[in-house]
Amino acid sequence: MRIGVATVYTPGIFGGAEFLAAGLEHAFRRAGHTLHSIRIPFHFEPPGAAHEAMRQAASVDFSRYDGGQIDALICLKFPAYLIEHPNKALWLLHQHRPAYDLYDTPYGWAKGHAETDALRAEIIAADTQSLGSAKAVFTIAERVSQRLQHHNGIASKALYHPPADADAFHCAEAMPYIFAPSRLEILKRQDLLLRAVAACPRPVQVIFGGTGGRRALLEDLAAELAITGRVRFLGEISRAEMIALYAHAAAVFFGPLDEDYGYVTLEAMLSAKPLITCTDSGGPLEFVLDGETGLICAPTPDAVAEALTQIIDQPAKAAAMGQAGRQRYADMQIGWQPVVDTLLDGALGRTNPSARAA
């Protein structure tokens, strides 16, 4: 069968969404289908760039591709899901967050600006129409389904999938450091971890893996807090280096603000390492069991410092939580084939509509 996978691309960015699209395309090919990649150019700034991307997605006919008919179209991100196709299913990573859950917060568009208020209304109307008319709507996590129901009144079902190189993650002897792999961006809240390290009564060591626009600010904050000797910023690292850092960590910290899914959570579980996360971190809360597979704490430096102290003071318990996390991942039977089967059934109308209840 000829399958189209539609998403967006922004030059210079290759992160979780791009890993997901590549993994899904590979899974469809492995299942014997012919795969066509469709990418809509997208830029976050200026805000009006979203309007042009929406226009392009809605106006181009992708029903035929490379001279042949696409039998089913799977759409992933805004505004690629505005593409029209008679056999379309959504596997929603997230919507345009500045117009939704981040609107009127320090992280999204400010309320009361004519341009962005009008654009927000346009986006919500287009999303509601396009997503509501798809043959099936799925999301990558329950948190994304909750937002979609709240903002657009559209029910959906979460489909979990494995991270890239899932079979390569493993557990090795724990070394005395906390691993914090993620883009260095404001929503990932590495500053929270730095303040927790400063507040922690134990000389905990932290290794940050990843690049991003806030590295200089975070390094300055570490100097201001007088903890430069306790933290390392590795910048861009290879997958092999990242997997090794997971394997030898005492624990993993991932405390973003309202994450959609979060590969870090699953990678920590596959590495048999306890995850420290926060009560408002979104996606990770669908996997972490507090005190059993990791620690869930308030998003404050003191609360995170207490969690760090538990990890350092109770290494045997930390190791046991990590092993429990690995078992929980296995019990959840997360894999690509169920995702492929479910999405294809949905696009072709073979999914029971009642299954769209979140």
The two three-digit tokens of residue 240, written as one number = 């092999």
Residue 353's pLDDT is: 42
Average pLDDT, the chain: 92
Asked if residue 186 has pLDDT above 60, the reply is yes
What is the percentage of the chain residues whose pLDDT exceeds 90? Answer: 78
CB burial of residue 352 (10 Å; 0-12, 13-18, 19+):
exposed
Q: What's the CA gap between 287 and 309, in Å, rounded?
A: 22
Q: For the segment 263-293, what is each residue's pLDDT rounded down to a tens digit?
A: 999 999 999 999 999 999 999 999 999 999 9
Give 222: exposed, middle or buried? Use CB within 10 Å, 0-12, 13-18, 19+: buried
Residue 82's pLDDT band, with cuts at 50, 70 and 90, is very high
Taken in order of first residue, the domains within the chain and their CATH numbers are: 2-161+335-356 (3.40.50.2000), 166-332 (3.40.50.2000)
329, 167 contact by CB (below 8 A): no
* Whole-angstrom distance, CA of residue 40 vs CA of residue 83: 10
- pTM, full prediction: 0.89
Residue 326 vs residues 175, 251, 323: alpha-carbon distances, Å: 18, 13, 5
